[in-house]
Amino acid sequence: MALAADDVLRSLRGSWRLMTEGAEALKELDLSRDGFWRSFAALVLTVPALIAILAAERQIAGLSNAGNMFDSPVLIARVLGAECLAIIAVPALLVGLAPNLTHSPRLTSFVIAWNWAGIVSASLMAVPATIFAIGWSPPGVATLQAIAFAVIVLRLRYCVARATFGAQSSIAPSILLASVIADYSVIRMFGLAGF
């Protein structure tokens, strides 16, 4: 289940293009059974973003980033756990609330697009986290920057749901709302700032 660089680039580009081209951009994603499992394996690509988010969370916790950034295993586990749960929460909720969807190709397409969009989303949120962690923005400005990037992430999530379940479907707003509630719950549960 190796990830080829061309496949990764095509999938990331396709997930980003969902915001402008809708369902047409799904053609760039591998919507096969292997593509489904590869989309989970591809979540390892969030590691650079997680390092930036960890640095920001360390700053908020009053820990130095100058020395060993990985000297707080509890904080690392909280950041990693929150990111993983944030990505899988909405698809898991969909399966729990509508088990009949498990046999639908639309759900498979949604999960694949959601996972790839999760990588893009983590990368987007790493931008304000990095700017804050290196000291280029004070906490108030960093919060506004994080909100601005979160708006882009929410737009991407809405477009993923709309592209995979259909533009006429009323499920996209519900998925967007569920993702906001899930993100807020995960951030609170893990005691993080929310980059």
Over its C-alpha atoms, the chain yields an Rg (Å, rounded) of 17
Residue 195 confidence (pLDDT):
76
pLDDT tier at 80 (50, 70, 90 boundaries)?
Answer: very high
List pLDDT tens digits, range 146-181. Answer: 999 999 999 999 999 999 998 777 889 999 999 999
Residue 127 confidence (pLDDT):
96
95: left (phi over 0), alpha (psi -120 to 50) or beta: alpha
